[in-house]
Structures are given as structure tokens and as C-alpha cells.
A and B are shown apart, each in its own frame.
Chain A
């Protein structure tokens, strides 16, 4: 199993009481609560933590992107990717992922990712995502066209990477006279593609048909198994071979020298589960953003555990394996259980959240690297 480090680069520097005055921390929470001078320090510590992960032997460094939210300062993930491409030497850089539907120029994305792949000398894993409704609204992209645009932008990017230019593209959502970017990715035929999922069966099926790695994000274990089953069925139909490398799983994890410290630090993940996902459905999944089937699946996700993710306390989050925390021994045992249950080939170690300090984050990375990683390597 391979392990990737992840943080959302959170900005949890405002007063929580202020946040609660608004319907959501996303989309409409005023950016007057953002102090860019505080962000300077945050960016640098987060980047230091990524570099330390490489030292500790993590296989990859994952970054993502959100808009209009203090939960994620990565407003343009390819910029952060560029820094990592230059400042690291061996780790893969997992972009999970570029939000395809919200940009009107997929060729520009193809160029940026190709540059990253070239500067990093072939270390890019190029994830593609649909974004939440917030990404659609904040960029004023029609949510009804989200899936169509995702698929067309994907097709165009892949063609841009694999077909000699110049060529012409006349699609439904994108039209280009001369596709012929000078910059091409160094990996042939193109960087590996990963796709995350939380509820939509269509996403699992789409990833399966293309043979892309599918990463379940904080889904309950039973739902993860179901999504992986849906993936396997679609892959079978499409004649794609499936191994454990087709599956990834993201989990919040904290490793400490003792259980008490681990429990204390793990509480930082609660903000992410609840407060940052609070808000009206119109922000997160406007009508037309999801199919009826996906909406039903999302509703089941909310009811498949005794409480929705955002209302679970730290004990429940751990019992449901959304958060794993403890000494290296405890964490190893829990991760082994997860591995046995869902047999993923890739583990995303979501290692920092909210106001978890730099020192605490570094210690967890160190303990994971030195005492957990060697055993995981054998799985």
C-alpha cells in the first residue's frame, strides 16, 4: 500500500463565534475575516510539513482546491503543485484534483499540468474532480452542466496530451480552433488519472470505465464497499482489469507518543467534519448538480451511520473509521482493519486540520513515517 500526505491548508484564524453568525463558512462567509498576513505564515508552515513528509518516506503529497472557504487556502492547486514540484525530489505530487467543470479553458489546465509533470520530472498524478456546488456558484458555472463539462473537459485534456497537434475541437461546451500547446507531460501517454468520490455512483462507474484510480473520501465503510463494488462491475463490463491499485481511501489520522495526546490532537478534525461542511443544500448541491440516483445515495450516506458526519463526536468519528488516532501500534491496528475491510492500494493520510499546531503536525508525520510506514509497506 502506498501512502500520501494531505492537508487542506486550512485558515482557522477567525473567531468561531463570528463563523456561526453565517449560514455557512463557504461561499458567502465574508472574506473580511481573512487576514493575508496570517496566511503568509500558514502557507510556509504547511509547505514545510509537505517537505518533511518526503523526508519521512511518504510516497506522495496530495493537494486539493476549494473556493470561497476558510477550510482550504489552496485556491489554485497548480500553484502549490509548482512549489512542490521544485522543492521536493522523489514524492509523487497528487493533484486531487483540478476542478474541471468550472474553467472555460481546459487547454490551459492541460498546459499547467504538463508543466508540473515536466518540472517534477514525471511525478504528477493528475486527479480530476467535479467540485462541490460552492465551486460552481463561486465561479458562476452552471451546476446543471457540471457532469457534462467534467466529461468533455476530460476528453479534451486527454486528447491534448495524446494526439499530435494541431487539431480542432468543436464540442458542446468547449470550442477551440487550434489545439497545439507546446507543453506536453513527460509521462507517456499521460500522468495517471485519479478520481475521488463521495456519493455519485456515476463517478465510480465513469472512473471504472477509464481504468482510473477511484478514491473514496470519508465515506462510511459499508458505502465504500458498495461504491467499490459498483466500480468493479462497471470495470468488468468495460473489460478493465481491477487490482487494489484502482482503489484509494482517505482518512484523518493522528499519531502520537501516547493515547491521550492523540485524542487531544484528533479533536482538530471535528471542525472539518462539521463546521466547514455546514450550510444550505443550495450551496453544496444545487438542483441539477447531482442525478437523482446520486442524491439518493448521498441521503443514504447521511443515514447509514447513526448521525451525519458533521454531528459525530470524536469517539463516533473514530468508531466509524473517519478518524484514526493513537500511538503507532493503535494506528497500525486500525489501518490494518481498514485494509482488510476495503483492500485499497492507496491510503491518503489526512494529517492536519483546523488549529493543529506545526509542532504537533510534524511529530505525527515523524511517528507515522518512522513507526507506521515500514509495516504498511509490507501490505
Chain B
């Protein structure tokens, strides 16, 4: 993969936020899930052909420090609005996966005017009625990994780079920090905010909800709730895919997103 991205920081609310940046064009902010920032992905590369992609590490994840006042996801949503302000970014395409999808939805409901188009990918944040979001806080890392992916490692193009080999002590510590931060933010109520469904109608921009059909962590029902709540939204289900379509099916995923953003 070409070194088509750079790593930068921006000062927000007194802390330096680390982010990957690549590509050129209108801004696209992508927010990672609870496992931490996976780095520059194939999917980012595909989007970077048309957009300036920003992939930050959330406060408390990776090398971005944790401000004491961030105690819940909505605090982090406000933090990201502040970051957009600091970076002078407006009318961004906003995309988020899993926990990052919750943040994206929270940002969009809090300040709809900053969002050009919204993409939610296997996002938590809303409470399913017929099923449950898997409680990853009492599962071992191995159990979480087993539930996260539907396809076998050899079918996942970036598996080796992302998950192959023994993690370094530093990577282990980062993973521990990420989980601790998730527990800090999402312990109770678990991975949802009862306000969110009521606020979704505020989002006036077009929205795409992408879901892996076989997501064993966040049930597809949550995708349907987002689809129903967001006035101008569509739901696209990727077949034979688990919780992380951008990693399990990067090409199919990028095609769907680019098509939605008007680049097909």
C-alpha cells in the first residue's frame, strides 16, 4: 500500500488529537470503533481517491490523551464538534463505525448543519427491542474477536497486517486503554442513549446506514432503528459480513459508501 497518508495532530480543548490524513478533496471525517484506531485502512485509501480523509484517534485512545471531563459519548461528540471548529472544517462527510457510529450520530443530532452526508456502519447507540447488543465487557479478547468477524482470516485482506502475529507490549497496552475508555464511557446504560432515537429526526442530511448481515455484536435491528429514525436515510446490508464491513469486505464497503457520496 502506498504511503498516501500522514500522521498529524491538532490541539483541541488543551490536548493534541492524533489523526491520520490522506487524499484530497472535500473533507470526510471517519470515527473508529471501541477497539481503537486501526490505522490507515484499504477502505480509507479508496475514499481518499475522492476526499480528504481524516481518521482521528479518539480522546483516551491510542496516543490521544483523555481529558478528565469526557465521561460519556455525548461529551466526546461535543469534543469532535470543537475539533471541526479548530480545523475550520464544515459540511463534512461524517462516517463512524460501531462506537464511532454512535459518536457520528450524536454529532449529527447535536449540530446537524456541520454534516454534509452521514454514514453509520454497524453502529451502537440505540437500544434494540427484540435483541441485545453483545456485552463485550464481560468477554475475553478472544471471545470478542470470535464474535467480531464472520469471515475466516484468510478471506480478510488486511487480517495479517492488523491481527497477525503477536501484539507488541505497546499494542497490548493500547488495547487495554481502549477497553478501559469504552468501559468509562459506555458502561451504563450499555452502548446506548435513550435520547438518540428521539433526536435522529433533527438530522436533515442524507444518511447511509451500512450493516454486516452477520454482525454478532450489534444486531441488524439497530440498523433498522437508525434507518427509521433518520429522515433521509437508506439501509444497505452487506451479505456474508460481520461487525466490521470496512475490514471484512473493504472493496464492497468502499463501493457502497462512494456510491452514496455520489462518486460511483
Please list the residues of chain A having a beta carbon within 8 angstroms of any beta carbon in chain B: 27-28, 137, 140, 142-144, 280-283, 286-288
> B154 to nearest A CB, angstroms?
28
Known: A282-B139, A282-B140. A288 touches B180 (CB 8 A): yes
Q: Is the CB of B183 within 8 A of A144?
A: yes
Give the size range of B's interface with the partner: 10 to 19
Q: Please give, as numbers and ranges, the residues of chain A lying within 8 Å of B264 by CB-CB distance.
A: none
Q: Is the CB of A287 within 8 A of B183?
A: yes
Q: List 9 A-B contacts (CB under 8 A).
A: A27-B138, A28-B138, A137-B138, A140-B187, A140-B188, A282-B139, A282-B140, A287-B179, A287-B183
Q: Please give, as numbers and ranges, the residues of chain A lying within 8 Å of B82 by CB-CB distance.
A: none
Q: Is the CB of B188 within 8 A of A144?
A: no
Q: Is the CB of A143 within 8 A of B183?
A: yes
Which chain A residue shows the least CB distance to B139?
A: A282
Q: Please give, as numbers and ranges, the residues of chain A lying within 8 Å of B139 by CB-CB distance.
A: 280, 282
A283 CB contact (under 8 Å) in B138, B179, B183, B187: B138
> A151 to nearest B CB, angstroms?
16
Known: A287-B176, A287-B179. A142 touches B184 (CB 8 A): yes
Which chain A residue shows the least CB distance to B175?
A: A287
A142 CB contact (under 8 Å) in B138, B140, B176, B183: B183
Q: Is the CB of A286 within 8 A of B183?
A: yes
Q: How far is the CA of A281 from the CA of B139 in the complex (A)?
A: 9
- Asked if B137 is at the interface (CB within 8 A of a chain A CB), the reply is yes
> B72 to nearest A CB, angstroms?
11
Q: How far is the CA of A236 from the CA of B11 in the complex (A)?
A: 42
> A89 to nearest B CB, angstroms?
44
Which chain B residue shows the least CB distance to A137?
A: B138
Interface 0/1 of B167-197, CB less than 8 Å to A: 0000000001001100110011000000000
Interface 0/1 of B49-75, CB less than 8 Å to A: 000000000000000000000000000
> B190 to nearest A CB, angstroms?
9
Q: Is the CB of A280 within 8 A of B140?
A: yes
Interface 0/1 of B140-162, CB less than 8 Å to A: 10000000000000000000000
Interface 0/1 of B187-230, CB less than 8 Å to A: 11000000000000000000000000000000000000000000
Known: A144-B180, A287-B179, A288-B180. A282 touches B138 (CB 8 A): yes
Q: Is the CB of B184 within 8 A of A288?
A: yes
Q: Please give, as numbers and ranges, the residues of chain B lying within 8 Å of A281 by CB-CB distance.
A: 140
Q: Is the CB of B187 within 8 A of A144?
A: yes
Given A144-B184, A282-B137, A286-B138, 10 extra CB contacts under 8 A = A137-B137, A137-B138, A142-B183, A142-B184, A143-B187, A282-B138, A282-B139, A283-B138, A286-B137, A287-B183
Q: Please give, as numbers and ranges, the residues of chain A lying within 8 Å of B138 by CB-CB distance.
A: 27-28, 137, 280, 282-283, 286
Which chain B residue shows the least CB distance to A280?
A: B140
Q: Please give, as numbers and ranges, the residues of chain B lying within 8 Å of A283 by CB-CB distance.
A: 138
Q: Please give, as numbers and ranges, the residues of chain A lying within 8 Å of B140 by CB-CB distance.
A: 280-282
Which chain A residue shows the least CB distance to B187?
A: A142
Q: How far is the CA of A142 from the CA of B186 in the complex (A)?
A: 9
> A99 to nearest B CB, angstroms?
17
Known: A140-B188, A142-B188. A288 touches B183 (CB 8 A): yes
> B117 to nearest A CB, angstroms?
35
Which chain A residue shows the least CB distance to B135?
A: A137
Which chain B residue shows the least CB distance to A28?
A: B138
Q: How far is the CA of A140 from the CA of B189 in the complex (A)?
A: 9
Q: How far is the CA of A290 from the CA of B180 in the complex (A)?
A: 10
Which chain A residue shows the least CB distance to B179?
A: A287
Q: Please give, as numbers and ranges, the residues of chain A lying within 8 Å of B188 by CB-CB distance.
A: 140, 142
Q: Please give, as numbers and ranges, the residues of chain B lying within 8 Å of A280 by CB-CB distance.
A: 138-140
Q: Please give, as numbers and ranges, the residues of chain B lying within 8 Å of A144 by CB-CB distance.
A: 180, 183-184, 187
Which chain A residue shows the least CB distance to B177?
A: A287
> B169 to nearest A CB, angstroms?
12
Q: Please give, as numbers and ranges, the residues of chain B lying within 8 Å of A137 by CB-CB distance.
A: 137-138
Q: How far is the CA of A137 from the CA of B139 in the complex (A)?
A: 12
> A32 to nearest B CB, angstroms?
19
Q: Please give, as numbers and ranges, the residues of chain A lying within 8 Å of B137 by CB-CB distance.
A: 137, 282, 286
Q: How far is the CA of A144 from the CA of B140 in the complex (A)?
A: 17
Q: How far is the CA of A299 from the CA of B199 in the complex (A)?
A: 46
Q: Please give, as numbers and ranges, the residues of chain A lying within 8 Å of B180 by CB-CB distance.
A: 144, 287-288
Which chain B residue shows the least CB distance to A282?
A: B138
Q: Please give, as numbers and ranges, the residues of chain B lying within 8 Å of A287 by CB-CB distance.
A: 176, 179-180, 183
Q: Please give, as numbers and ranges, the residues of chain B lying within 8 Å of A286 by CB-CB distance.
A: 137-138, 183
Q: How far is the CA of A69 from the CA of B212 in the complex (A)?
A: 37
Q: How far is the CA of A288 from the CA of B180 in the complex (A)?
A: 5
Which chain B residue shows the least CB distance to A133?
A: B138
Which chain B residue shows the least CB distance to A283?
A: B138
Q: How far is the CA of A278 from the CA of B187 in the complex (A)?
A: 24
Q: How far is the CA of A287 from the CA of B177 in the complex (A)?
A: 8
Which chain B residue shows the least CB distance to A140?
A: B188
Which chain A residue shows the least CB distance to B184?
A: A144
A-B interface, 4 closest residue pairs, ranked by CB to CB distance from nearest:
A288-B180, A287-B180, A142-B187, A287-B179
> A231 to nearest B CB, angstroms?
27
> A255 to nearest B CB, angstroms?
40
Q: How far is the CA of A161 from the CA of B38 in the complex (A)?
A: 51
Which chain A residue shows the least CB distance to B186?
A: A142
Q: How far is the CA of A27 from the CA of B184 in the complex (A)?
A: 20
Q: Please give, as numbers and ranges, the residues of chain A lying within 8 Å of B179 by CB-CB distance.
A: 287
Which chain B residue shows the least CB distance to A295?
A: B176
